[in-house]
């Protein structure tokens, strides 16, 4: 079972994420949106050629892996419980990859950066993916319980 | 160039550390937030709430700046039109997010655990991005 988590942990974590987005905006002038950065790193955003933006995006993503590792090693070890089957992981990954590109962003780009600047597109996108994700969980856990 | 790369790495470290200490790299925690009819867990709301404070402050500061500190101009989207691709994309993303409990940021950060589930998810996510890029109709309007 999952343990309770004191709210100061997510609050502190959120502040760090927001600080990251704030610094990236004020120094690099860019949105810290992970789906966009990931697409840039693998050459699926705009052009295929290597650009300074791509090096920067790679730096951000490698930094996030390193930062998670440092936090796990020195601050707090999170529980990581993934119960999804292989098929579900593949389906989920495909949908998340395709959907975030079509919809121009994910939880970080629309949720953290877009809501902060009151972008109408990001507000609409965030409400949409939150509601759809909640409906999906409701369907899987409560309507189809025991079936899938 | 070096400054920009170091800045990106530093911002990434803050971002990944934030995801780890807030338990967002734990899909079970995210799914518990999304499960409003179950044992609801408010963690994700605190994360977004906490993140919005510095993020919103930064946009207020940005409005008083001509250019970012290390770049010649800001690359912030100016499009305000809510269109079909935006909503369709958010629906598809929400479906995938609700199925597994991973979105792109936590999925990438979770690679540090070397869990096969995170690796499979990230590979599938990149394939999904490639599908968008190379499907003629969907990829016709590529946005950064």
B48-90: pLDDT as tens digits: 999 999 999 999 999 999 999 999 999 999 899 999 999 999 9
**B2's tokens:** 């070096």
Residue whose C-alpha is closest to residue A34's, from A92, A132, A101, A128 = A101
Local confidence band at B143 (pLDDT 50, 70, 90 cut-offs): very low
A-chain CB neighbours of B46 within 8 Å are: 7, 10-11, 14
Residue range B86-101: average pLDDT? 98
d(CA A115, CA B11): 19
pLDDT of residue A23: 97
B-chain CB neighbours of A29 within 8 Å are: 67-68, 70-71, 73-76
Q: Which of A9, A34, A75 sits opposite B108 (nearest CB)?
A: A34
Using a CB cutoff of 8 Å and minimum separation of 24, what contacts does B66-70 make? B67/A29, B68/A25, B68/A26, B68/A27, B68/A28, B68/A29, B68/A30, B69/A26, B69/A27, B70/A27, B70/A28, B70/A29, B70/B3, B70/B4, B70/B7
**B107's tokens:** 């999925």
Q: Which residue has the tokens 């995801």?
A: B19
Q: Is A21 helix (H, G, I), strand (E, B) or coil?
A: helix
pTM: 0.94
Local confidence band at A79 (pLDDT 50, 70, 90 cut-offs): confident
Nearest CA of chain A to the CA of B135: how many Å? 10
Residue whose C-alpha is closest to residue B13's, from A43, A139, A60, A104 = A60
Nearest CA of chain A to the CA of B116: how many Å? 9
Residue range A36-57: average pLDDT? 85
**B42's tokens:** 């408010």
Residue range A112-138: average pLDDT? 97
């Amino acid at each position: 079972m999952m343990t309770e988590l004191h709210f100061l942990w997510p609050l502190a974590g959120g502040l760090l994420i927001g600080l990251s987005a704030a610094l990236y905006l004020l120094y690099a002038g860019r949105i810290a949106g992970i789906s966009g950065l990931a697409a840039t790193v693998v050459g699926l955003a705009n052009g295929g050629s290597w650009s300074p933006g791509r090096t920067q995006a790679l730096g951000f993503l490698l930094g996030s892996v390193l930062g998670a590792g440092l936090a796990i090693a020195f601050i707090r070890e999170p529980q990581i419980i993934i119960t999804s089957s292989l098929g579900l992981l593949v389906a989920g990954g495909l949908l998340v990859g395709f959907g975030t590109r079509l919809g121009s962003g994910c939880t970080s780009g629309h949720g953290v950066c877009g809501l902060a600047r009151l972008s109408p597109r990001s507000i609409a996108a965030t409400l949409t993916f939150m509601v759809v994700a909640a409906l999906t969980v409701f369907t899987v856990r409560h309507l189809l319980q025991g079936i899938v | 160039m070096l400054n920009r790369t170091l800045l990106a790495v530093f911002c990434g470290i803050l971002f990944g550390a934030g995801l780890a200490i807030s338990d967002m790299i734990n899909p079970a925690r995210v799914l518990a937030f999304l499960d409003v009819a179950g044992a609801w867990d408010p963690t994700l709301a605190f994360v977004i709430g906490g993140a919005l404070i510095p993020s919103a402050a930064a946009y207020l500061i940005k409005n008083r700046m001509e250019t970012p500190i290390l770049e010649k101009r800001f690359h912030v989207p100016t499009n305000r039109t809510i269109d079909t691709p935006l909503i369709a994309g958010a629906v598809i993303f929400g479906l995938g997010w609700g199925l597994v409990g991973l979105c792109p940021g936590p999925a990438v950060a979770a690679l540090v655990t070397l869990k096969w589930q995170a690796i499979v998810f990230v590979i599938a996510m990149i394939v999904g991005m490639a599908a968008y890029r190379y499907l003629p109709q969907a990829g016709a309007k590529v946005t950064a």
